[in-house]
Amino acid sequence: MDQDMTLLSELLVSVFLIVGGIFGLVGSFGLLKLKQTMQRLHAPTKATTLGVGGALIASMLYFLMIEGSVSFHELLITLFLFLTAPITANFIAKTFMQGDVPENELPQTGREFGWAVYDDPPSEEDEEK
């Protein structure tokens, strides 16, 4: 009985590891396959969420079911990942746009001002008007 439980938990941990591995692989493959920089940006911000997520869930399950202790580090890693990944992606996107995307390739803002990469923010004089 006890052995069955161990086998079951090991299976469950393996399933999450494999799912995580597959998504990590697909993310890296996307990086290779896609041709435009902006498209490539999608792969690492995305597939990594489930790829890393799968590995983290597996790790938590392992500690919970096999070691018999609760581990919180994985939750923190998830939190920090969710905080940092969008910022990195945004930095890369902006740097790329600055150098390689001419303003006229982009759609209009629908506002008085252009996109922040090319246009200055409203000055204080503008705001007084």
CA distance 84 to 81: 5
Is residue 120 part of the contact set for another protein (CB under 8 A)? yes
Instruction: State the amino acid at position 76 in one-letter form.
Output: L
Touching another protein, residues 12-41 (CB under 8 A): 23, 26-27, 29-30, 33-36, 38-39, 41
Nearest alpha-carbon partner for 57 in 88, 83, 78: 78
Assigned token pair, 61: 């399950």
Maximum distance among all alpha carbons in the chain? 78
Give least dist CB 83 to another protein, A: 8
Residues that bind another protein (CB under 8 A): 23, 26-27, 29-30, 33-36, 38-39, 41-43, 45-47, 49-50, 71-73, 75-76, 82-83, 85-87, 89-90, 93-94, 97, 106-117, 119-122
